[in-house]
Structure formats: C-alpha cells, structure tokens
Amino acid sequence: MTRRWRTLLAVSLIFLSAACTRKPGTASALKPTAFGAALVESSGGKQTGAIGTLLPQPLVVQVNDEQGAAVTGALVDFNGQASVTFDPPSALTDASGQVTTNVALGSVAGRYQLTVRTSTRAQKLVELNIEEIALGYQEQLGFQLDNKYCASCHDPESTPERVSNYDNLEVKPHPFTEGGTFNQISDDDLTAIISHGGPAINKSALMPPYGYTLNKTEIESLISYIRLVSDPPYHAPGTVYTRK
C-alpha cells in the first residue's frame, strides 16, 4: 500500500468512527444482544440543576433479568420533553448491566419527567420514570442561599464542604423537599419566619432571623426555590387543575 492510500484509509476510518459516536440518535443502529425484565435506577434521579445545563451527576440505570441479575447488552433508551437532551440518548448495557447518560434539562424552570425504556425478549416495554428539577435564575439564587445559610441545619446529610448541624438541634427543622410541611405554610408565613426567626410563627427560636442578612429579593428567591423542590409538589392557592 502506498503512503497516500494508507493516509486516505486512516482518514476515512476516523470519519467512520466519528460518524458512529456522533450519531447515537439512530437507535435502530444499536442491536440488543440480550433482554431484561426490569429497569432500576442506580443513581442520578431527583437532582436539581440550572436550566439548560448538564445535571451535576450522570443518570445511571441498570437492566436486570427476572432473578434480579444484571443483564449485559440490553438496549436502553432515554426520553424526555423535547428540550431535554441525553448523551447518549440510547445505549447497550455494559458488563455490570448499566447504562450511563448525561442529561441536560430544558430552558424552562420546573420538574422534568424522564422516561427510561427497555424491552423484554417478548417485545414488552419496561419503563422507569425519573424526575429531575431545573432551577431558573430565581430558584438558582435560592439554592445558593440555601447552601450558604440554611442547609447546615435543614439538610440532615453532611457533604464534603459542609458538616450538618442537624443532629445537634433539639428541635428538628425540615429538609426543604418535605412538601408535607412546607406546602402547609403560606408565602407570608415563610417570609415572616425567614425574616424574624422561629418565634414569628410560634416556632422554636433555634430558627434564626435573616431579616438583616438577606434582602427581600433573596428571601423571595428562597421561597420560590422551596416551592419548586417540594415533594409532593406545591400547588399555588387558586390554581385550577384538570381532573386526572
């Protein structure tokens, strides 16, 4: 082979492999070599991230057979609203039965339902629903303020950056995701307790006042953040919902 031909071959090989890795959207190109019976989430659900950006952690799911053993070579695909992107959008499970994808949420703040699918040997669809939360500008500010001022008491989990004070508190605050608690408190009462501390709404003085530390916009941002992450979801009073 002449040198010229060899170069040409190398170049076309590069093009070919680029074409293969760049276009995983052609799901039909992936042929499953095995089938599972169940889909389980390994990690990456219930994350919060800024709108239009990659979520901090990838989404990892696993395909298992009827006995609960991991299946290698099963086809998994990821779906969301049009504005959500997955990289890759579909893949075959690896040696540990898992598939990893990077998720970027859309440009509108809110809760995003993602659907993960695989099919059984008998072509029955198996689905797994996963929820992620996209924070808009205001909620993102609230999230940062939470990390800075509130999470040390309200989040029972410690992280590498922050040790939780939760276990030391005599009266236990609630994590902001606890809709059961926060959905009962009006915006006015949230503003009051954040500004003036626990006693403002007959709660413990272990909840400090932030009226001198945070301005009105910051307190509003914290409230919109709390409203967005609450589980079950918060329904603003007065909103009419269609029958299920």
**Residues of this chain that bind ligand HEC (CB under 6 A):** 149-150, 152-154, 165, 169, 171, 173-174, 181, 190, 193-194, 198, 203-204, 206-208, 210, 222
What residue type is 223 in one-letter code?
A: I
- Rank residues 106 and 198 by Cβ distance to ligand HEC and give the closer one: 198
**Spatial contact of 173 and 154, defined as CB atoms under 8 Å apart:** yes
Please give the radius of gyration of the chain, using alpha carbons only, rounded to the nearest integer. 24
**Spatial contact of 214 and 222, defined as CB atoms under 8 Å apart:** yes
Helices (H), the chain: 3-22, 137-145, 151-154, 179-182, 187-196, 216-229
* CA distances in angstroms from 60 to 88, 144, 198, 209, listed in the order given: 12, 26, 40, 40
- Rank residues 100 and 164 by Cβ distance to ligand HEC and give the closer one: 164
- Rank residues 36 and 173 by Cβ distance to ligand HEC and give the closer one: 173
CB of 130 to ligand HEC, least distance (A): 27
Q: Which contacts (CB < 8 Å, 24+ apart) does range 80-83 have?
A: 80/112, 80/113, 80/114, 80/115, 81/106, 81/112, 81/113, 82/106, 83/107, 83/108
- Rank residues 149 and 234 by Cβ distance to ligand HEC and give the closer one: 149
CB of 152 to ligand HEC, least distance (A): 5
CB of 154 to ligand HEC, least distance (A): 6
CB of 16 to ligand HEC, least distance (A): 55
- Rank residues 124 and 174 by Cβ distance to ligand HEC and give the closer one: 174
CB of 62 to ligand HEC, least distance (A): 35
